[in-house]
Chain A
């Protein structure tokens, strides 16, 4: 672990957002552990059904989310440096990258449903749909937040000394990223 610092920077965003993030992470932790425990109970079923997911799609989903998070982080830096228009463009880029994720994920859902691999297919797909579906809803909400913040940044509504709302919105998006980096290996990667 990196060493402690005696002079601490202020916590980015609003305190309420951090408690919200902790609550959300707890809910996702329970879902993720449910997935792992049920896999332990029937590993063959999970191996067989995991093979029906496309690994390259999983990687593309990961890269699109990480790129979106990167662009959102860049946007905060740009707005801190008094470049709201650049920040707005970066937030729009984050939206576009997130749209790649939603398009790919929607395509994957359609493909699986057409194969009869819906929420009732078996235990693997029941948990797959619940966990990734819940995450997908968070992505959709995040997309709306990013688009809203992009518009506000374009209109210069974020003075550098009052970035709490912007930071909170972007923190929500990083939480979505954080959850995905644990979900991705558990759901997609064969072992």
Chain B
């Protein structure tokens, strides 16, 4: 991973974090919940694939690490929107 690529992903992480704060102004509670969970998963994806370097390794490890935020965000969304 080059310095430039890492810098771009870091900027994307900051942008997603700021976006999650902006999303708190969404009037619909359900869309707000889905938005902040989607943004959280987006950040987790960048960390797993690019900071942890799992994008190009054996798929099982990458899936295991990506399933953690994916399942957690889905479960949180299901629990809080039920």
Query: A and B, one complex?
Result: yes
Q: How far is the CB of A69 from chain B (nearest CB, A)?
A: 6
Alpha-carbon distance A117/B72, docked complex (angstroms):
27
Alpha-carbon distance A35/B46, docked complex (angstroms):
25
Count of A-B residue pairs with CB < 8 Å:
122
Task: Identify which of B7, B20, B61, B72 contacts A189 (C-beta below 8 A).
Answer: B20
Whether A12 contacts B17 by the Cβ 8 Å rule is no
User: Chain B residues with Cβ under 8 A from A59's Cβ?
Assistant: 17-18, 21
Task: Identify which of A21, A40, A182 contacts B72 (C-beta below 8 A).
Answer: A182
A107 at interface, CB cutoff 8 A:
no
Interface centre among A72, A77, A185, A190 (most CB of B within 10 A): A185
Whether B69 contacts A36 by the Cβ 8 Å rule is no
Closest to A25 in B: B68
User: Chain A residues with Cβ under 8 A from B82's Cβ?
Assistant: 40
Whether B61 contacts A11 by the Cβ 8 Å rule is yes
User: Chain A residues with Cβ under 8 A from B10's Cβ?
Assistant: 66-67, 70
Alpha-carbon distance A179/B52, docked complex (angstroms):
13
User: Chain A residues with Cβ under 8 A from B57's Cβ?
Assistant: 8-12
| A169-191 contacts to B (CB < 8 Å) | 171, 174, 177-178, 181-182, 184-186, 189-191
Whether B36 contacts A77 by the Cβ 8 Å rule is no
Task: Identify which of A8, A32, A73 contacts B76 (C-beta below 8 A).
Answer: A32
Alpha-carbon distance A190/B80, docked complex (angstroms):
13
Task: Identify which of A32, A171, A178 contacts B44 (C-beta below 8 A).
Answer: A178
User: Chain A residues with Cβ under 8 A from B75's Cβ?
Assistant: 33, 36
Rank and list the top 10 A-B pairs by shortest CB-CB distance, nearest first.
A70-B10, A181-B43, A9-B56, A185-B36, A36-B79, A73-B51, A36-B76, A66-B13, A12-B53, A8-B58
Q: B interface vs A, CB < 8 Å?
A: 1-3, 6-7, 9-10, 13-14, 17-18, 20-21, 23-24, 29, 32-33, 36-37, 39-40, 43-44, 47-59, 61, 64-66, 68-69, 71-73, 75-76, 79-80, 82
**Besides the contacts A29-B71, A191-B80, what 19 more A-B pairs have beta carbons closer than 8 Å?**
A1-B66, A11-B57, A33-B72, A36-B80, A37-B79, A39-B80, A40-B80, A59-B17, A59-B21, A63-B17, A69-B47, A74-B3, A77-B1, A77-B6, A178-B44, A181-B40, A182-B40, A185-B37, A191-B24
